Amino acid sequence: MIVEEKLLAYPVPEIRTEVRWQDVALYNLSIGLGQDPLDRRQLPFTYEPEIRAMPSMAVVLGYPGFWVKAPETGVDWVKVVHGEQSLILHKPLPASGTLVGTTRVTGIVDRGAGKGALIYSERVVRDEATGEKLATIEQTTFARGDGGFGGQPGPVKAPHPEPAGAPEVTLDLPTRPEQAAYYRLNGDHNPLHIDPDVAAKAGFKAPILHGLCTFGVVCHALMRELCDYDPAKFGRMDLRFSSPVYPGETIRTEIWREAGGASFRARVVERDVVVVSNGLFRFA
């Protein structure tokens, strides 16, 4: 069971990540870039002469791993799912170097017995050599099995409002059946995404795609449609995960342009299920 004071003070390890161009290429491939070998706009994200990091790669840099699995957190890790994700990119990510991620728990919300708990955390990624801040990543973890521990019922982070009317732009990006196995190589080793038995215990028919892989696919869509694949134009991206994606499904990103950026959501084409909602994008 969660003990609020203990979890708020939990010492999430500070992590140093040595980044090589091969790591950048692996991440980009793991979120689906390179599936069209003739698309020259994607080539710099997979080809080493001018390799570029996708903004969403920040979520795997300085990543402390699936730390809620540690027994001392008190979290029922089998029932944990990703709730919300926010990324602020302070400057384009380097394609090589040593980066440091510092993570802390910033809040816990008890939704009540049988309703789960929300765990808010923040990670700041810096360049070790210069100390320069590169990205700030905020995450909401939905601990489905941990409500009713006697914690505070709020405050709950307010989501970005859903847009009205038909989207101005839609883009379909396919995922591959083995994509979760590739994405795990970025350091997210939650067995929910590869072990059918663990997935079944969590209530899923099969291993599901990492929420952060879905995040990367949607980031790709925003980079393509709004930024012309230029990481320097990317400022911020927030979203809420509404439903899981199964590897092999097609993710359709729907975009409404607005001053300073856009609102967006995403759905799985094959099941017509919204998988990402309340999306906010802002230019740098």
Q: Give the domain CATH number at 31.
A: 3.10.129.10
Kindly give the confidence (pLDDT) of every residue in the chain, 284 residues in length, as a single tens digit, with 9 standing for 90 and above: 898 989 999 999 999 999 999 999 999 999 999 999 999 999 999 999 999 999 999 999 999 988 998 999 999 988 888 899 999 999 999 999 999 999 999 999 999 999 999 999 999 999 999 999 999 999 999 999 999 999 989 899 899 999 999 999 999 999 999 999 999 999 888 899 999 999 998 899 999 999 999 999 999 999 999 999 999 999 999 999 999 999 999 999 999 999 999 999 999 999 999 999 999 999 99
Residue range(s) defining the domain that contains residue 225: 4-283
193 is catalytic: yes
pTM confidence score = 0.93
Catalytic residue among 23, 146, 188, 238: 188
Catalytic residue among 193, 210, 220, 238: 193
Answer for the pair 92, 45: CB distance below 8 angstroms, yes or no: no
How many distinct structural domains can be found in the chain? 1
Angle between helices 21-30 and 211-226 (to 10 degrees): 90
